[in-house]
Structure 1
Amino acid sequence: MHDPATIERSSQELPHSLPGECWAITDHAAGNQRQALALAEQMGMPVRHLVLSPRAPWSWLSPRLALGGRLVLPASQRATFASPWPTLAIGCGRSAALLTRLLRGLTEGYCHTVQILDPRIEPTHWDTVIAPRHDGLAGPNVLNPLGSLNPVDDAWLADGCDASPALEYLPRPRVGVLLGGPRSGMRMDADYAQQLIAALLARRQREGGSLLVLASRRTPTAVTEVMRTALRGIPGLLWTGPDDGNNPYPGVLGWADRLVVTPDSVNMLSEACAVGCAVHTFVSGDLPPKLARFHASLRGAGLLHDIDAEAPVQQTPLRETAAMAEALRRRMLANRRLE
């Protein structure tokens, strides 16, 4: 077997697209959907998004229990997960890991199976596994980006600016603030929100500008209420959900001069670092070990800074999705050559 890395690396030899269809397989989690679709759309193939939910007992043991074929799905979803099979299947999340694993057998190796995030079992059950470095997963078929995959690039940011033209007229520096939520080993409550907004307002008092604050689905109401009270009279916006209108997230990233991101979300931090402006965070306690490793990697690369630290106005954006797509394309072409 030849190592794909030994194949000629001239990009001129690589077709942008491959024959057949690409399936992006996910559950309903927005973060999983975002990663799988971002990579799928970079592959230059027709993309079909399958949102599937294995039934018990497979849902309890996914992806370890791989017996049963299409019976792992409820009857209503089996017609979707059926031939004609795709050339490429990209899954993200534990439920999807079972289905991408099954596709290797169902298609007798025809479909190149990709699993995003550590599947918690041997990566050899898939053709390619993409797991961020802080997961500590290694193997000959494992790719290790620094952060999570996402769609943020120049075109995406330009579309965001076009969708929210009014943000251009807010006072500069425009500081985008992305709020996540609590997770195991991390609190995010009203006290944290008070400390965060105090730091934001202190800096704004020195340099002016506006604050564009966006909550996520995981942001506690206590946090958004602290923000709502503190931001009265401050130029900018506060978006806490659909009741506040369409989510201006792409526009905030597109127009931001600086971004402040709570420390809990690998996805939010990765997307912020893909913009190309300075990115800051506010950490009020110890981080869980895997998340601490991720923060350390970003800080070591000069991509993440303390909330009160001075940082370059512009920084090299962290954009790994296109590189992962190219590496995946090379692997698929190498496998076809070896057939």
Structure 2
Amino acid sequence: MARVWVLTSGKTGDDKQSLRLAAALGVPFEEKKIVFNDRARAWRIILGPSIASADRARSSHLDEPWPDLVISTGWRQVPIVRWIKRRSGGRTRLVQMNRPPGPKYFDLILSPPQYGVPIRDNVIRLDWPLQLPHSAEALEQARSEWKDRLDRFPHPWTVVLLGGESDPFGLDREAMRILFARALERSRSCGGSLLISTSRRTPRPALDVVREAAIEAEDRVFLYEWRPEASENPYAALLSGGDEFVITPDSISMLVEVARLGRPIAIAPHVRHRSLSKRLRNTLKRFLHGRLDRRQPAARAFISDLASLLGLKNVRNLESVSRQMIEHGWAADFPEFAGGRDRPLPDDDFDRVVERVRAFLDD
């Protein structure tokens, strides 16, 4: 029987994609939870496999027998999965999602459009991330658990899902003030309620604005402030009960999940970083990585790989996802809404991805 490991990092959007793919392969798999130490960010510039960025005492045990396949999502696990492959004598196959530094080290890369991974033989460029929405049972359970706290807010619910800082976008005080005021006006004009959920990336200044405005608005406003130590999160309950959603454009996983549930979506206005240093840095990144819509010459591919290993990953093209969703009618620019139960987002990539990955287990 083939051995499959899934390395998870605690980032919900990333982990859900990896676990979904592993579950579809039709073989048992082990989830290996990795807790990172303070060297996680620095270690990606070291050229080579390593487990030094993992907190070994708090992470799942990694030892023989080594797996036939490792599935992982996100750059922090990259040194670790490469270390696993080295320890296995090169036998372990590596499937990595998103935009790992050093693409040549992986057997297969699954990359959604916003990551701008150049065309290569070992790259599948996805139309959308592989997130699967919560099951109907999970949504119903969450709705039941939060019933006493949320049922006092009359429908329709306008749910605002806030991301935050994600290059090249930011979320400053003024942008948050305008977004809150317009969303509140929308909910009141419909005779409903405004329910807001922040996330791990929501910056403190934007959160302060929301908190102050919610207090002033008094009734018909619910605010959930994300905290890493919180034992409960109303996200699934909001998905279950939300009548329409306003989502910041940096939150690709939330956009895709809500669209696959078939709910009307409005995409909040983009706010670009105004810092000159960040704009210059992003210009340099785009130059180093070159054109992404064609196969790169060997020299250009080498420069792109080296830039990624040094921490100069290409700028995510978050606008491409928003633009696609709007063009196909799955979302609209706020304050307009589009999409709904008659137009759920398709999941066309998944079957071909599963087939390609399953082939590694048959080798």
TM range (shorter): 0.7 to 0.9
Determine helix, strand or coil for the equivalent of 1:139.
coil
1:257 aligns with 2:284: no
1:277–1:315 contact (8 Å) kept in structure 2: no
Matching residue of 1:327: 352
The answer as to whether partners of 2:194 and 2:220 remain within 8 angstroms in 1 is yes
Using the alignment, how far apart are the partners of 2:355 and 2:20 within structure 1?
Answer: 18
1:136 aligns with 2:116: yes
After superposition, the Cα gap between the structure-2 partners of 1:85 and 1:54, relative to the gap in structure 1 and judged at 3 Å, is farther
Alignment: residue pair count: 315
| Letter in structure 1 aligned against 2:116 | G
Shift of 1:132: 0.6
> 1:120 and 2:105 equivalent?
no
**In the TM superposition, what are the counterparts of 1:259-298 in structure 2 within 5 Å?**
259-286=245-272, 290-298=317-325
Q: 1:165 is matched with which residue?
A: 147
Is 1:88 matched with 2:69? yes
**Whole-Å separation in 1 of the counterparts to 2:251 and 2:24:** 23
Matched residue, 2:198 = 215
TM-aligned CA distance change 1:249 to 1:189, over 3 Å: same
Counterparts in 2 of 1:209 and 1:271: CA distance versus 1, 3 Å:
same
Please tell me whether the aligned partners of residues 26 and 95 of structure 1 are also in contact (alpha carbons under 8 angstroms): no
Alpha-carbon shift at residue 186 of structure 1 (Å): 2.9
* C-alpha deviation, 1:64, in angstroms: 6.5
The Cα shift of 1:299 comes to 1.7
CA contact (8 A) 1:22 1:47 kept: yes
Query: What SS class does the counterpart of residue 130 from structure 1 fall into?
Result: strand
Between 266-275 and 255-264, report the one with greater CA deviation: 266-275
TM-score (structure 2 length as normaliser): 0.73
**Percent of pairs with identical residues:** 24
Amino acid at match of 1:255: G
- 1:15 maps to what in 2? none
How big is the alpha-carbon RMSD for the aligned residues of Structure 1 and Structure 2? 3.4
1:27 deviates by: 3.8
Unaligned runs of 5+ in 2: 274-314
Residue of 166, 169, 172 corresponding to 1:189: 172
Q: What does residue 51 of structure 1 align with? A: 34
Residues 190 and 25 (structure 1), Cα distance of their counterparts in 2 relative to 1, 3 Å cut: same
Match of 1:299 among 320, 326, 341: 326
Q: Does the 8 Å contact 1:63/1:119 carry over to 2?
A: no
Structure 1 stretches of 5 or more lacking a match? 1-18
Q: Deviations over 1:200-229 (max 9, x none)?
A: 122223211111111112223332333234
- In structure 1, the residue matched to 2:336 is 309
2:162 paired with 1:179:
yes
